[in-house]
Amino acid sequence: MQKLLLTIDKISTFVGHIFSWLIVSLTLLITWEVFSRYALDKPHDWAFDGMIMMYGTLFMMAGAYTLAKNGHVRGDVLYGFFPPRLQAGLDLTLYFVFFLPGVTALCWAGYNYAGESWAIWEHSGITSSGPPVYPYKTVIPVAGAFLLVQGIVEIIRCIRCLKDGKWPSREEDVEEVDVEKLKEQMHVKDEDIAKLDEFVTAKKGSDK
């Protein structure tokens, strides 16, 4: 079971990493449009639509990745002090009360929404020559499906935590810098840092 959970974590991570490149594309598009508009006096009427679609796709497709990394917003001020079983019980309740109904509705409504858009070959109405939006609307049910699968994984983790009293491991990804671990790897001690501070302070005093 743990292997299956980590495999789905890896899929969510892979999807998140792939779509994260839209940040680069979006930055390049905005930069080019600003240059084209103000330096060349040749704005593109489709650029605004493109920016919205890129940002929306990035936001939606990052949902499962963020959930896999336990990165969604919660009240950590209190939650972090709770024992694992209480955390798992709260999470499990919220998953069944809010997450599953909400994401299931997102998938169903998004499927119908995208289907109607494909049926009429819908184009953006923001500008006269708006680009097609049916591929963009297809992202809604796809992102919802990834999020739903990852949510089921998180529900299983909650159940295992309630049983074992500890959280199962997750797929590792980019982590914040652990200062203590970094000092250990660099063979630096707190005494050395204190001596360096004293030396710098004394040096500044002598320069004055």
Residue with tokens 């909400």: 102
Residue 177 has pLDDT above 60, yes or no: no
Task: Look at 157 and 183; give whichever has higher pLDDT.
Answer: 157
Distance of CA 43 to the CA centre of its chain: 32
Residues 6+ apart with CB under 8 A from 44: 33, 36
Of 65, 55, 8, 66, nearest to 27 by C-alpha is 55
Task: Look at 141 and 201; give whichever has higher pLDDT.
Answer: 141
pTM of the model: 0.77
Residue 207 has pLDDT above 60, yes or no: yes
Neighbours of 197 (CB within 10 A): 10
Token readout for 197 is 């501070």
The Cα-based distances of 159 to 1, 72, 102, 137, 156 in angstroms read 12, 19, 20, 34, 5
Q: For residue 44, name the pLDDT band (cuts at 50, 70, 90).
A: confident
